[in-house]
């Protein structure tokens, strides 16, 4: 009798289960189409809206904070290598940063890591304890610190926001989470 076969089979099944569980870790959320052409998802109070216009994507993010709010696309591991948009509104003035995941627990400006800023600010506000940022970015900037995106693609999304007093880009999140969505 061949005793090795069952062991190999068990290992294969375990590996498959691990892989499947790992891939299924982020839930694919369904977006709603708004009248103005934006698609919208909401998770734990974080709102992500987007609209693809020609070769650019317009993104609106909102969170219940007076501090920073951020979104990151397609990380490799935890925060690492994700393509971030982070900003805050202070005294009516918007600070916006085009960042990348420098390590699994940190982000850094693209232009400090050999890339460049590819974000255009459209609007920013802080109303009733909620911060909203609207930006435009190329779907494929060619920047090695950005992640190319395309309509209909499934992307992993990280979201987070800082505490009410965190009008800066360094404070750790008060709340964070992630999901998966079809652009």
> In the bound complex, what is the minimum distance in angstroms from residue 107's beta carbon to ligand HEM?
6
Q: Which is nearer to ligand HEM, 9 or 90 (CB)?
A: 90
Q: Which is nearer to ligand HEM, 145 or 173 (CB)?
A: 173
- Min dist. Cβ of residue 102 to ligand HEM (A): 10
In the bound complex, which residue of the shown chain has the CB atom lying closest to ligand HEM? 70
Core vs surface per residue 116-133: b (16+ CB within 10 A) or e: ebbbeeeebebeeebbbb
- Which residues of this protein are in contact with ligand HEM, per CB under 6 A? 70-72, 78-79, 84, 86, 105-107, 158-160, 170, 172-173, 176, 178
How would you classify residue 20: left for phi > 0, otherwise alpha for psi between -120 and 50, otherwise beta?
alpha
Backbone angles phi, psi at 90, to 5 degrees: -135, 125
Token representation of residue 33? 């189409």
Residues in the chain, overall count = 183
What minimum distance in Å lies between the beta carbon of 71 and ligand HEM?
5
Among 126, 110, 132, smallest CA distance to 48 is for 132
Q: Which is nearer to ligand HEM, 54 or 133 (by Cβ)?
A: 133
Considering beta carbons, is residue 38 or 84 the nearer one to ligand HEM?
Answer: 84
């Amino acid at each position: 009798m061949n005793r090795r076969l069952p062991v190999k089979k068990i290992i294969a099944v375990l590996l498959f289960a691990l892989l499947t569980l790992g891939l299924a870790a982020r839930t694919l959320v369904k977006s709603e189409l708004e009248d103005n052409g934006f698609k919208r998802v909401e998770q734990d109070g974080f709102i992500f809206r987007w609209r693809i216009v020609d070769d650019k994507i317009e993104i609106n993010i909102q969170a219940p904070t007076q501090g920073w709010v951020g979104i990151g696309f397609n990380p490799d591991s935890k925060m690492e290598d994700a393509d971030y948009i982070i900003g805050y509104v202070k005294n009516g003035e918007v600070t916006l940063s085009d960042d990348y995941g420098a390590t699994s627990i940190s982000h850094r400006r693209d232009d400090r890591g050999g890339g460049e800023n590819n974000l255009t600010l459209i609007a920013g506000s802080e109303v009733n304890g909620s911060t909203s940022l609207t930006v435009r970015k190329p779907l494929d900037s060619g920047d090695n610190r950005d992640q190319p995106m395309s309509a209909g693609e499934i992307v992993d999304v990280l979201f987070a926001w800082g505490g009410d007093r965190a009008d800066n880009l360094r404070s750790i999140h008060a709340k964070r989470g992630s999901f998966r969505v079809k652009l």
